[in-house]
Amino acid sequence: MTERQTEMTAPRSTAPARLVLAPRAAGPQRTTLLAWLHRDPRYRALVRDAGPGGGAGGRAGFSDAVIIAVVAQGLLPGLFNLVQSWVDQQRTEVSIRLQVGDSEVEIQVNGRTDAAKLFDEAQRALRPTDPGNEITPEG
């Protein structure tokens, strides 16, 4: 294997991914998104409630309950899987703002979304502005 091949398979960016998750306000929830994400021990210390004043910026239909997460990029596929499973169970949607370095993208997660496609969409959206920001899953 050449040095060039090694560079291509290594993660391009070690910058953490910052996420702002805003669940849609669609009535009472059986389980809050925060509680759902905390079921996985990998996310308990990384995902938190934004607290007072951390609302979704007044987006119509979205709750003021905003969740902040700062995770290693390799944890994004698992986090997207958890969000998608919660959305499927609650029959609602979540707006996710994902920031890696200076690049930012907003993704809508609903019952018709596939978690793997979310990851791909995030990767494509972040790539044009900075090729060094490619998200690489842990593995």
**Band of pLDDT at residue 6, cut at 50, 70 and 90:** very low
pLDDT computed for residue 26 by the predictor: 67
2, 57, 127 from 6: Cα distances, Å:
7, 43, 20
Mean pLDDT of 33-62: 74
State phi, psi for 63 to the nearest 5 degrees: -75, 165
Structure confidence at residue 83 (pLDDT) = 92
Q: Is the pLDDT of residue 40 over 90?
A: yes
Q: What is the mean pLDDT of residues 94-115?
A: 87
Pairing outcome for strands 67-71 and 47-49: antiparallel
Q: What backbone phi and psi angles, to 5 degrees, belong to 39?
A: -65, -30
Report the percent of the chain where pLDDT is more than 70: 70
- Arithmetic mean of pLDDT, 55-65: 48
